[in-house]
Amino acid sequence: MNMQAPTAAMSVPAPAQPKTLEDTGLTHVMMRDILLKTVFRKSIETTREIAATIRLTTGLTQQLIDQARDAGMMQATGTMHAGASAEMGFQLTDAGKARAADALAQSEYYGAMPVPLEIYKRQVAAQSVKNVRLTRQKLLRSMGHLILPDGLLDQLGPAVGSGRSVLLYGPPGNGKSSIAEGIRAALGDNIWIPQAIEYAGQVITLYDPIVHTAVDMGSDGDALRKTNHRVDTRYILCQRPTVMTGGELTLDMLDLNYNPTARTYQASLQLKSSGGVFIVDDLGRQAEPPQKIINRWIVPMEMGYDILSLQSGEKFEVPFDTLVVFSTNYHPNKIFDQAALRRIFFKVLIDGPTQGQFLKIFAMVAKKKKFELDEASLVHLLKRKYPEIDNVYANFHGQFLIDQMIAACNFEGLPYRMTPELVDRAWANLFVEEIDIVH
């Protein structure tokens, strides 16, 4: 687990540490089986090691060990392990190993005790993305590196602050993906993510290090300890998550992922994004048509919950607390019907830059890459090349053209300086001339 410094002070209520085994919300049988499977798979012996792995306090863990000993499934090793506490070691008996094997045959899940779905729902409500108070200053800070069209923040601010769905549309190469990432960064604070949740005796792994960035509690942890508020260690403090998908998105990614070999479940992508942002980039390039993808989101976006299914066919509700950002190069009227458009609360056009904005981007990229500009070459670009495409600018043009010119300079052994000849060479790679290819 990669621990990073928190990006903002912890502002959501921390889940309280269970004081009794009953407070965990789990059955004693489930906790016992996870304990036995964990000891069996991890070959750990001391109460402290076991507690750190199953994410309970040493006191509650010792209670589980004592119950397993009373049932003849664990026994003391008779060995005092080195350390300040000189802890006694414990191991599985033959009966405990047999029970662990039986439990593993039903589910390979072991490790952190899960959080029951009903308890997790309360934590989701307490740290809802809809509770984030987004200001113009926060949005500016997260997008200060972008050259944005006039008035864009006036549209984006209310859209993001509402926690409702947003559709960014417009011609390709104008920063829709960068803006979507900036939206996530603007949310800023941290939330609590359980390692796994439990429903109907089934464990669903939720924490995903690809989606969730764990943060060091730092002074926030000290503050909690000073107020005698102990945190439920089944949860991990994380930055608000971002799930970003593109053309690879398929509808089955929005359902539970069941591994038939391990007999375990992994949370759906939108469940992993709870409390954060789900970005559907390049909408229209997926195997499924855009209308079908939007239809899958209609109930979650309108009702605030999603419906998932277990292998048994049993359906159940999970919270849907996600800011959904759709990004497409197509005009909405060409890919959605009016019913779908009504359900996307905000539609924001991300158009190409003006000539002045393009020049700002071009100069910013050149400065960053230490590429010297030249007035005559810029005039050549603006007066000779752009009229060929009706003076239509795109935000990606500056980066693309300068990278092309730098590549040519490296090949020719030339200094990083703009010339009309380099502009022509770069421009030739920006667009492909339409010709008939004879096969």
The candidate with the shortest Cα–Cα distance to 355, out of 329, 387, 377, is 387
Q: Residue 254 is encoded by which pair of tokens? A: 């929005």
CA-CA distances (angstroms) from residue 429 to 256, 279, 384? Answer: 43, 30, 16
Q: Is the pLDDT of residue 230 over 60?
A: yes
**CB neighbours of residue 275 within 10 Å:** 30
pLDDT band at 425 (very low <50, low <70, confident <90, very high): very high
Q: Return the pLDDT at 220.
A: 57
DSSP label at 330?
S
Spatial distance between the Cα atoms of 57 and 50, rounded to a whole number of angstroms: 10
Which of these, 331, 322, 364, 324, lies nearest to 350 by C-alpha position? Answer: 331
C-beta contacts of 289-295 below 8 A and 24+ residues apart: 289/335, 290/328, 290/330, 290/335, 290/336, 291/335, 291/336, 291/337, 291/340, 292/251, 293/249, 293/251, 294/326, 294/336, 294/340, 294/343, 294/344, 295/340
The SS3 of residue 303 is helix
- Whole-model pTM: value is 0.81
The model's pLDDT over 320-364, given as tens digits with 9 standing for 90+, comes to 999 898 888 888 888 888 888 888 888 888 888 889 989 999 999
Mean pLDDT for the chain overall: 87
Share of the chain above pLDDT 70, in %: 90
How many Cβ atoms from other residues are within 10 Å of residue 29's Cβ? 10
- Confidence category of residue 439, pLDDT binned at 50, 70, 90: low
The letter for the amino acid at 33 is D
pLDDT at residue 4, as a whole number: 42
Q: Is residue 8 very low, low, confident or very high in pLDDT (cuts 50, 70, 90)?
A: very low
- pLDDT tens-digit readout, 201-216: 999 999 999 999 999 8
Residue 282 corresponds to which tokens in the numbers above? 């390049």
Q: Is the pLDDT of residue 318 over 80?
A: yes
Place of tokens 């009706």: 390
